[in-house]
Amino acid sequence: MSARRIVTPLILAAGGLLLWQGLIVATGLPPFLLPGPGAVAAALWSNQALLAQAALRTCAEIAAGFGLGAAGGAVLAVLMAGYAPCARALRPVLLISQVIPIFALAPILTLWLGFGMAPKIVVTALICFFPVAAAFFDGLTRTTPACRDLARTMGANGWREMWHIRIPMALPMLGSGLRLAAVYAPVGAVIGEWVGGSDGLGAVMIHANGRMRTDLSFATIAVVTLIALAFHAQISALTRRLFARFE
C-alpha cells in the first residue's frame, strides 16, 4: 500500500474536523445544536461502557438479520429461477415487500414480536433480503447459453443443472448482492431500535436526542458508521475470497 493511500484520507479527515470547528467558532452555534469535534470525542470517551454494550447488541442484530435475509433471499432466488410459476407468483410479492416503507412496518413488528431483538432482526432481514434475491436471481437467469445447451444434450435434469452449473455460475452475482445488503443491514437494525425497546445504538441515539445530548447523538452516529464500514469491509473480503474462482 502506498503512503499516499493512507496520508490522503488523513489530510481530508483533518480538514473536515477543522472546517467543523471553524463553523462553530464562526457562527457561535450552541453545543446542543452543533457540538464541536472535541465535545463529541469527550462524549465517546465518557460513554464508553454504554456505547460498547449498545454496539454489541446492534452488531448481533445486524449479523443475525443479515444472515437471515441473505439466506432467505438466496433460497427464493433459486426457487424463482428453477421454477417459472414460482417466479411469476413471487415477483410481485418481492416488489411489494420493498415498496412498503420499513419505517411503517417497524412499529407493527414491535407490536407483534415485543421489545426484544426479534423485531430488529426481522427489519434488518427484510432490508437485506431484496438486494440478495434480486442480484442472485439475475445471475441465475444469465447462465451462458453454451452451458445450458451442454446440460440439455448431456441429459441433466433441471435441478442438477441448477446445482452444478447455474448456481456456481451465479455466485459472483450473489456476492455483489451480499455486498449491497451489508451496506443496508446496519440501517435496518438502527431503525428497529429507534421504534421500540431500550437497547442498542438506535435507542441510545433516540434517548440522547430527547435529552438534547447532541454530543452523544453524534458519538453514536460515529459508532454506527464505523460498524457499518467494518461490516461491509468484512463481507466484501469474504465474498471476494470465496467466489473468486467462479468468476
CB contact set of 179 (below 8 Å; sequence gap of 6+)? 232, 235, 236, 239
Q: What dihedral do alpha carbons 106, 113, 192, 180 form, nearest 10°?
A: -90
Check if the beta carbon of residue 191 is closer than 8 Å to that of residue 106: yes
Count of residues touching other proteins (by CB under 8 A): 21
Euclidean distance between the first and the last CA atom of the chain, given in angstroms as a whole number: 25
- Which residue from 88, 160, 211, 241 is in contact with other proteins, where contact means CB under 8 A? 160
Contact status: 155 vs other proteins (CB under 8 A):
yes
Distance between CA atoms of residues 245 and 76, nearest Å: 24
Contact status: 245 vs other proteins (CB under 8 A):
yes
Of residues 161 and 199, the one with the C-beta less far from other proteins? 161
Of residues 26 and 154, the one with the C-beta less far from other proteins? 154
- Which residue from 33, 111, 150, 237 is in contact with other proteins, where contact means CB under 8 A? 150
- Which residue from 48, 144, 198, 234 is in contact with other proteins, where contact means CB under 8 A? 144
Contact status: 151 vs other proteins (CB under 8 A):
yes
Distance between CA atoms of residues 235 and 169, nearest Å: 20
Contact status: 103 vs other proteins (CB under 8 A):
no
**Binding span for other proteins by CB under 8 A among 101-109, 134-142, 144-152, 173-181:** 144-152
| φ/ψ (deg, to 5) at 77 | -60, -40
Distance between CA atoms of residues 245 and 247, nearest Å: 6
**Binding residues vs other proteins (CB under 8 A):** 144-147, 149-156, 160-161, 164-165, 168-169, 245-247
